[in-house]
Amino acid sequence: MRGGDTVSSMTVEDQDPTATRGTDGIASRAGAAAAAGSGSGATGATGGAGTAGGAGPTAAGTRSGAPSAAGGRPTGDLERYAGLFAQRTRVMKSSAMRDLMALTERPEVISLAGGLADTTLFPAEDLAKVLSHMAAGDSARALQYAPTEGMAEIRPCLAEVMAAEGTIVDPDDILVTTGGQQVIDLVCKTLVDPGDVIVAEAPTYPGAVPTFSAYEADLVQVEMDDDGMRIDVLEETLDRLEAEGRRPKFIYTIPTFQNPGGVTMSLERRHALVRIAQERQILVLEDNPYGLLRYEGDPLPTLLSLDGGRFVIYAGTLSKILSPGIRVGWALAPAPVRQKMVIGKAGSDLNSSSMSQLFVAYYFRERDWRDYVRHQSAVYQARRDVMLEALERHMPDGTTWTRPKGGLFVWLTLPDYLDTTDLLARALQHNVAFVPGRGAFLDGRGGNSMRINFSGVGEDDIREGISRIGSVIAEQLELYASIAGTARPRGGSTRSGTKDARTPDAPHDSSIVPLRTAGRRRGTA
Ligand SMILES: Cc1ncc(COP(=O)(O)O)c(C=O)c1O
């Protein structure tokens, strides 16, 4: 595989069918904005999956005050406002996950599309007690503004979380944010001008895609394998960009239990990435929501700890180990970058919720947060095992999947003539949902892959959900085989990730570079 095949380099505008180049004015913007507001157009690559309208960040009509019909769909008079939209709305993309939310919220749907911590595991009486103690002890402060950088009592808690993974930081250096998502946003706000390059993994976190596109970044995605981002491909990519006179603003990576890939960057590659960042003086954004949700193996050092905080910016969050509802995340960054991020944050929300921050401080004081992480990990590990078993049982030949040692996701790759966006429509008819892989790319790749989550639903639902997805895939494979006039290939070898299940006459999308998966063979998956 040539290096050039393994990366993509296109501006988000290049990707967006709704973007109209070179023309200004109401008419051209109206088209793009109307499409953006409609969800399905805005998702571009996610195509038919994007139907949630107002649920997505591109519901520009709703945001700008345009009236919307029930369910958040923009109404016909959107054009009235279209001339007011900023240029960037032409290239803004909605998140594949958010688009799916409205569909998957139907109670009859088994959703393997989420990326949710199972908050039913948190004891309601603990929440009630800690909140009442907080109200009794600190009501006025809980109801008041707080410093933009974060409240003094929460920072040691967040430093404690990092120490549990072996990363020692000074609590004073922590910038408290509104979730890890805000860190991604603030880093972009601080560093990215339109057209600037961000390097990310292929596939990358689907929720970062709308942020990168809102800042009009040029996303360059680097192939992964079982050991995370391929450093050889990264180096080729950086060389190529340098030859073009383009220096990436940062490399975005989720090294541990990657979302959506489920893979973890090896120690050797962590060292190599940090060395590259230091030698080439390129910033790295290490996003680490899942590091403490480890079900096997030994913890690996964070990039931040290997780098000492010179070139690595770190994003943490309590969303996956405590609660996404409290919206507490944090960042560490070299001081000059951090100062700009603080100014950027003040412009966004002044400060993160005082109530949430105090809740965390009280919770850490009164309960053992590690206990809860252990409890969740045990539950998620069991669910992961059920999912892996179900995949072995129900996936047709020709499919491969990753075997995560932690985190919340499995990445499933199908024969490359199948399209998971189309498949989702069929899956929803069978009341099961997943995230189509295209949402994790900005270049149209990922069409034959999907992200499936094992933390958000119970074991029986996982079994049933995987069985339904397996049937839908099998149905499509049969259909394909009958159209192509060949019998569907059979045999265990196709599970080995060799992709020899391709139907002979099937179109082959050579731009798709699947993960080389851990779920290759029975027994060793
Ligand atoms: C890799 C990654 N980064 C950031 C986030 C955002 O998390 P939050 O804003 O809830 O902290 C998520 C959530 O799924 C994620 O998976």
Check the CA dihedral 271-443-261-159 and report its sign. positive
Check the CA dihedral 10-38-117-384 and report its sign. negative
What separation in Å is there between the alpha carbon of 184 and the centre of ligand 1? 9
Determine the Cα–Cα distance for residues 151 and 168; give it in Å rounded to an integer.
Answer: 19
DSSP 481: H
What are the tokens at 258?
A: 């990657």
Q: Hey, which of 182, 259, 285, 302 would you mutate to test ligand 1's pocket, going by the most ligand atoms within 8 Å of its Cβ?
A: 259
Determine the Cα–Cα distance for residues 33 and 18; give it in Å rounded to an integer.
Answer: 8
Burial label for 472, CB within 10 Å (0-12, 13-18, 19+), is buried
Determine the Cα–Cα distance for residues 495 and 485; give it in Å rounded to an integer.
Answer: 22
Q: Specify the pairing of strand 329-332 against strand 312-317.
A: antiparallel
What are the tokens at 98?
A: 């958010």
**Which atom of ligand 1 lies at the shortest distance from residue 178's CA?**
9
Question: Could you read off the pLDDT of 290-347 as tens digits, one per residue?
Answer: 999 999 999 999 999 999 999 999 999 999 999 999 999 999 999 999 999 999 999 9
Check the CA dihedral 239-240-245-246 and report its sign. negative
What separation in Å is there between the alpha carbon of 486 and the centre of ligand 1? 43
* Residue-level pLDDT at 106: 81
DSSP 11: E
3-state secondary structure of 519: strand
Contact assessment for residue 118 and residue 376, using Cβ atoms and an 8 Å cutoff: yes
Verdict on whether the full-model pTM lies above 0.85:
no
**Which atom of ligand 1 lies at the shortest distance from residue 328's CA?**
11
Q: Is the backbone peptide bond immediately before 203 cis, with ω within 30 degrees of 0? A: yes
Q: Hey, which of 285, 288, 320 would you mutate to test ligand 1's pocket, going by the most ligand atoms within 8 Å of its Cβ?
A: 320
* Residue-level pLDDT at 243: 97
* Residue-level pLDDT at 114: 87
What separation in Å is there between the alpha carbon of 182 and the centre of ligand 1? 9
Determine the Cα–Cα distance for residues 435 and 417; give it in Å rounded to an integer.
Answer: 18
Q: Is the backbone peptide bond immediately before 260 cis, with ω within 30 degrees of 0? A: yes
What separation in Å is there between the alpha carbon of 181 and the centre of ligand 1? 5
What are the tokens at 9?
A: 């380099």
Which residue CA neighbors atom 16 of ligand 1 most closely? 259
Q: Hey, which of 186, 264, 317, 327 would you mutate to test ligand 1's pocket, going by the most ligand atoms within 8 Å of its Cβ?
A: 317
Q: Specify the pairing of strand 329-332 against strand 175-177.
A: antiparallel
* Residue-level pLDDT at 302: 98
Phi, psi of 499 (to 5 degrees): 60, 30
* Residue-level pLDDT at 113: 92
* Residue-level pLDDT at 37: 34
Show the ligand 1 pocket: residues with CB < 6 angstroms: 115, 179-181, 205, 207, 254, 259, 287, 289, 317, 319, 324, 329
What separation in Å is there between the alpha carbon of 248 and the centre of ligand 1? 22
CA-closest candidate to residue 85, choices 26, 20, 12: 26
**Domains, in order of start, for the chain:** 12-87 (no CATH), 91-115+369-525 (3.90.1150.10), 124-366 (3.40.640.10)
**Which atom of ligand 1 lies at the shortest distance from residue 184's CA?**
4
The DSSP-derived string for 161-201 is: HHHTTT----GGGPEEESHHHHHHHHHHHHH--TT-EEEEE
> 2-32 burial string, b = 16+ CB within 10 Å, else e?
ebeebbbbebbbebbebbbeeeeeeebbbbb
Residue ranges in the chain modelled with pLDDT below 70? 1-76, 95-101, 104, 486-525
What separation in Å is there between the alpha carbon of 149 and the centre of ligand 1? 20
Which residue CA neighbors atom 14 of ligand 1 most closely? 115
- Cα–Cα distances (Å) from 466 to 229, 399, 405, 410, 518, in that order, read 28, 13, 19, 12, 18
What are the tokens at 186?
A: 């603030």
